[in-house]
Amino acid sequence: MTEKTELRGLLPEEMAQTLQEWGHPAYRGKQIFKWVQSRAVREAAEMTDLPQALRSKIEAERWLRPLALSCCRVSKDGTEKYLWQLADGELIETVLMPYRRSQTRDRVTVCLSTQAGCPLGCKFCATGQQGFRRNLTAGEIVSQVLDITHRKGQSDPDFKVTNLVFMGMGEPFLNYEQVRRAIELFTHPEGQNIGQRRITVSTSGIVPGIERFARENWEINLALSLHAADDQLRSQWMPVNRQYPIEKVLNACRRYWEQGRRRLSVEYALIEGVNDRLEDARQLGKLFTRWPIHLNVIPVNPVTESGARRPDKARMVQFLDELKRQGIDAVIREERGVDIEAACGQLRGAAHGEGET
């Protein structure tokens, strides 16, 4: 790490190294880390227990670089979608989903982006139709939570993100090192201190990434975006399947399950006239015979370029019932933020130049 790496992408000991080069004691690294990661400050001036000279140095070096909010939309169901502008002008999206509970504490989930755009080109995904720009740094990934926390904390000092899903723009396993570092930062006891079991990483089936993920000494959840039960159909809608077909992907996912005994989640976007037949549900059942998974049936968000449309509710229920007859633990995922284009890539594609709300 160098001193040009943004503060939000550094661990305390890495901060300490640069601070010592600047002539400041190493213990300041722990102080700064707590300000940045736990308290989510956006300016060095807020770090009130640091010497003024050090705060000025941090500002002069632009060592702390928060995201710029381009747009925020709030759904009638409480979902919030953020469009951020990065330092180089690229735009990324983040979704905040609050879940209110009566007897247990509220759950606040943030859906994170890991890339600006996406190289995989899945036909039903708005991000995939926009192409790939670049990988995000760990600091940019972490900043999505920190800047939401700072913003929400202005009116609610007790605001806390409790759950993370790496399901936003991009393929996490094509940016493995930065995603790994972001997880290390999110789970650090002096930072956001989010429990590993409250984190889910989603992949479209990058086999080397799944295999590496299985070897990590983690309790983090894995979700597979499958969306079809046979290679021909999956390759039509998800070009990545040509390189990593279903059998190879599921073999890697099984190793993840066998390594940590964490149940695999499977995401299945239901597309009218494409993958919503009862026969498709039966094929899914055959793929996961005697394998404990949880399958989320997701009504596809319409994408103009592909013509993808969601089935009607009766068709979805029939599909779900057939999955259950096949012994699959499946649910129709609750839709969030439909009225604010909360699906991946929709806001970025529609809101270039739109002002903050």
- Which one-letter amino acid corresponds to residue 175? N
Q: Tell me how far apart the alpha carbons of residues 94 and 80 are, in angstroms, rounded to a whole number.
A: 8
Q: Tell me how far apart the alpha carbons of residues 230 and 233 are, in angstroms, rounded to a whole number.
A: 6
Cα 218 to Cα 188, 262, 294: the distances in Å are 13, 10, 19
Give the closest residue to 343 by CA, choosing from 126, 170, 172.
126
Note if 93 is an active site residue.
Answer: yes
> Under DSSP, is residue 90 helix (H, G, I), strand (E, B) or coil?
coil
What's the CA angle centered on 134, arms 133 and 140, to 5 degrees? 125
Give the closest residue to 112 by CA, choosing from 198, 179, 159.
179
Note if 344 is an active site residue.
Answer: yes
Q: What share of the chain is helix, strand, coil (3-state, %, to 5)?
A: 40, 20, 40
Q: Tell me how far apart the alpha carbons of residues 139 and 65 are, in angstroms, rounded to a whole number.
A: 9
- Determine contact, residues 256/222, Cβ cutoff 8 Å: yes
For the purposes of burial, counting CB atoms within 10 Å of the CB of 100, is it exposed (0-12), middle (13-18) or buried (19 or more)? exposed
Given the residues 80, 93, 171, 341, select the one marked as catalytic: 93
- Determine contact, residues 84/67, Cβ cutoff 8 Å: yes
Per-residue tokens: 85: 């502008």
Strands 329-332, 163-166: parallel, antiparallel or unpaired by DSSP?
Answer: unpaired
Q: Catalytic residues, which ones?
A: 93, 344
